[in-house]
Amino acid sequence: IRDVLTGLFGGLDLPGFGQGLDTVIGPLSGGERRRIALAKLLIGEPELIVLDEPTNHLDVEGISWLASHLRARRSALVVVTHDRWFLDQVCTRMWDVQRGQVHEYEGGYSDYVFARAERERIAATEEAKRQNLMRKELAWLRRGAPARTSKPRFRIEAANALIADVPPPRDSAELMKFANSRLGKTVFDLEDVTI
């Protein structure tokens, strides 16, 4: 308790509060109330701590103290924050949600940045290989398959499967929102249209 009060408030007598421990919480600022809520959480002994933007109302010393305190605790921590330094200090595993998929990375924020770049590089290389193979197979199909052999049928099926295996658009939610929104006053209702 002493460590938490000293780390978050500067001492056991709560120097920032006029009446110390008898201060009424209601009229305090949002930042002061958040510090009190954080202190209440850390004084307890929870097995799991879930924090949402814990560094928003803390000064540099408070953030540094919180990071060292959380590293020393023997409880699990789930934290959502934009504070990259804080993530590097307290995280041992990161989860990144991209396009509806969760990717897990070991280490703090710096490790995550490097691992994510490597994952994206590998994905881009695999996609380039797929595109090259698809281009070759399409060229072969356009030239026409030789008759009376069983190879062309297998190769045609494989080419069709490769062409059908196109990844979904990068941001399907944004595309759906765009498709459902009206972009002007003129709306065309087409029937029996062919290309």
Summarised one tens digit per residue, pLDDT across range 112-138 is 888 888 888 998 898 888 888 888 877
Of 81, 56, 89, 67, nearest to 7 by C-alpha is 67
User: What pLDDT sits at residue 141?
Assistant: 72
CB-CB neighbours of 54 under 10 Å: 24
User: What pLDDT sits at residue 178?
Assistant: 57
CB-CB neighbours of 66 under 10 Å: 22
Of 165, 88, 84, 176, nearest to 130 by C-alpha is 165
User: Which residues face 93 on adjacent strands?
Assistant: 106
38, 39, 45, 50: CA torsion to nearest 10: 10
User: What pLDDT sits at residue 179?
Assistant: 57
CB-CB neighbours of 77 under 10 Å: 16
User: What pLDDT sits at residue 69?
Assistant: 92
- DSSP letter at 193 equals -
**Ranges under pLDDT 70 in the chain:** 145-151, 165-187, 195
**DSSP string covering 97-142, please?**
EETTEEEEEESSHHHHHHHHHHHHHHHHHHHHHHHHHHHHHHHHHH
User: What pLDDT sits at residue 50?
Assistant: 92
Question: In terms of DSSP bridges, do strands 101-106 and 93-98 run parallel, antiparallel, or are they unpaired?
Answer: antiparallel
Assigned token pair, 83: 């504070």
User: What pLDDT sits at residue 131?
Assistant: 84
CA-based torsion, 160, 161, 167, 172: positive or negative: positive
User: What pLDDT sits at residue 150?
Assistant: 60
